[in-house]
Chains A and B, each alone.
Chain A
Amino acid sequence: MSPRVDVPIADLFERARTGERRALGRLLSFAEAGGSRADELTDLVHPHTGGAHVVGITGAPGAGKSTLTGQLVAHADDAGMRCAVLAVDPSSPLSGGAILGDRIRMDPVVRPGAFIRSMATRGHGGGLSLAVPAAIRVLDAVGFDRVVVETVGVGQIEIDVASAADTVVVVVTPGWGDAVQANKAGLLELADVLVVNKADRPGADDSRRDLELMLDLTVLGAWRPPIVLTTATEARGIGELHGTLVAHRSFLGDSGTLPDRRRRRARHELVTRVEVLLARLTRSQVATPDGLALLDAVAERRTTPSAAADSLLHAVIARA
């Protein structure tokens, strides 16, 4: 947008709340970059949050998450619900760059006014786990009714991100695996809603049956994750998915589980914040003469890694 001049964050926030997309875009960059400005932003918007329904959509690459997300946003929009999308894609571990291609699936279906933001994982340890909650908070505070966070469900970070949502949607496709796969621990355990996308393909009913079998063997609370069949490219099943999300949000409120969810999210965020802080302190401690001496001691087998780590930790805590 404009040159990177220092517009006060509070001004940007006021402009973003009145619907100015550029201001919101800039705020999300601050949230994404982390550091002191992100903290300032978080402090500012935190009191205004809590109104949005945060939906995480995750699943294997190619499952149709972006198309599904686009259709879902278009449908919710028609129902008078304002949605924002946070689409997370991986950064290259080699160059740090990224190709963020989710808009290509969403732009054709969403209305011109819909807000979509692409976010790269950017590799810095724990960074994404902080950037995503910070960005969600901004979108929540400016008044979106629903914030959809889309991630590729392959890594731990992505799983963390998805599980920070109020409602977690896991997308599978026909032929993705059988009942044994379904019973392996992982992403499916986190699901509040299961989607079999590309349901026009052979095997959709088998997938549904396998998922039902998995759920039968799972100790469930009062909410049994519904299984929704969709064909996102033809907008089939989208109304049912939308209704299911609304129902889950109501369930969270009525059953009193929403505070638990939000506490879980807060715990995850706080622990990550401290981890990131500790990691930064640890790296700079390692670079001190004492730290370098420790590295030598371990490399030359004069001390053990665990003893050296203990001594490093004590030094870090003393500094913190």
Chain B
Amino acid sequence: MTGASVTGAEPSPDPTEATDAEPSDLTPIRIVLAKLGLDGHDRGIKVVARLMRDAGFEVVYLGLRQTVDMVVAAVEQEDADAIGISMLNGGHLTLAPRMVEAVRTAGLDVPVIIGGIVPDADIAKLLEAGVAAVLTPGTPAEELVRVVRGAVSGA
């Protein structure tokens, strides 16, 4: 999906053609992207960060070796609308529920989206644990953007 273009993205507002609309109507969606624990494979999350930037998102990129508490702290300070966690080392059944729990404990209402290598059999378990969506390799960029937008708007 590296080479995919994001055709579903809304074009950015051209400042020279702006109207009288309140500037806050144009606020981009802010998403915190991170990897938890010792999973060091960050090629995928970097690709996703770039795709999302190109689709008009503001990506707060935390990168590797985060704890769930670090992610929660970043979400609070950045007033983020969503959390994207990349998992490629099979730790998802342990770490994803912990992430969801930490978000709930903090009293935040922010969707947690998991991206990475997740066996089909585990997807239902993650959704049951409160994960908003699971995106596996091969997901087209348009789908990624649609899912994240949907999760943010509660659809």
A residues lining the B interface (CB < 8 Å): 1-3, 21-22, 24-26, 28-30, 32-38, 91-92, 94-101, 103-104, 107, 112, 115-118, 120, 122-125, 127, 280, 283-284, 287
Contacts and interface: CB of A to CB of B under 8 A. Distances in A.
Contacts of A30: 24
Given A94-B54, A95-B9, A1 B23 contact: no
Nearest to A287: B19
Nearest to A21: B76
A100 B23 contact: no
29 contacts: A1-B75, A1-B110, A3-B109, A21-B76, A21-B77, A24-B77, A33-B27, A35-B23, A91-B58, A92-B53, A95-B11, A96-B13, A96-B28, A97-B28, A97-B53, A97-B56, A98-B53, A99-B49, A99-B59, A100-B58, A100-B61, A100-B78, A107-B62, A107-B74, A112-B70, A120-B28, A127-B23, A280-B20, A283-B16
A283 B58 contact: no
Contact of A25 (B9, B50, B56, B78): B78
Contact of A107 (B27, B70, B106): B70
Interface of B: 9, 11-13, 15-20, 22-24, 26-28, 49-50, 52-63, 69-70, 73-79, 106-110, 154
A98 B56 CA distance: 7
Nearest to B109: A2
B24 A35 contact: yes
Given A96-B12, A98-B58, 20 more contacts: A2-B107, A25-B77, A33-B22, A92-B54, A97-B58, A98-B28, A98-B59, A103-B60, A103-B61, A103-B62, A104-B61, A107-B74, A112-B69, A112-B70, A116-B74, A116-B77, A117-B77, A118-B60, A120-B28, A124-B18
A107 B65 CA distance: 11
Q: Which secondary structure dominates chain B's binding surface? A: mixed
Contacts of B49: 99
Contacts of B15: 123-125
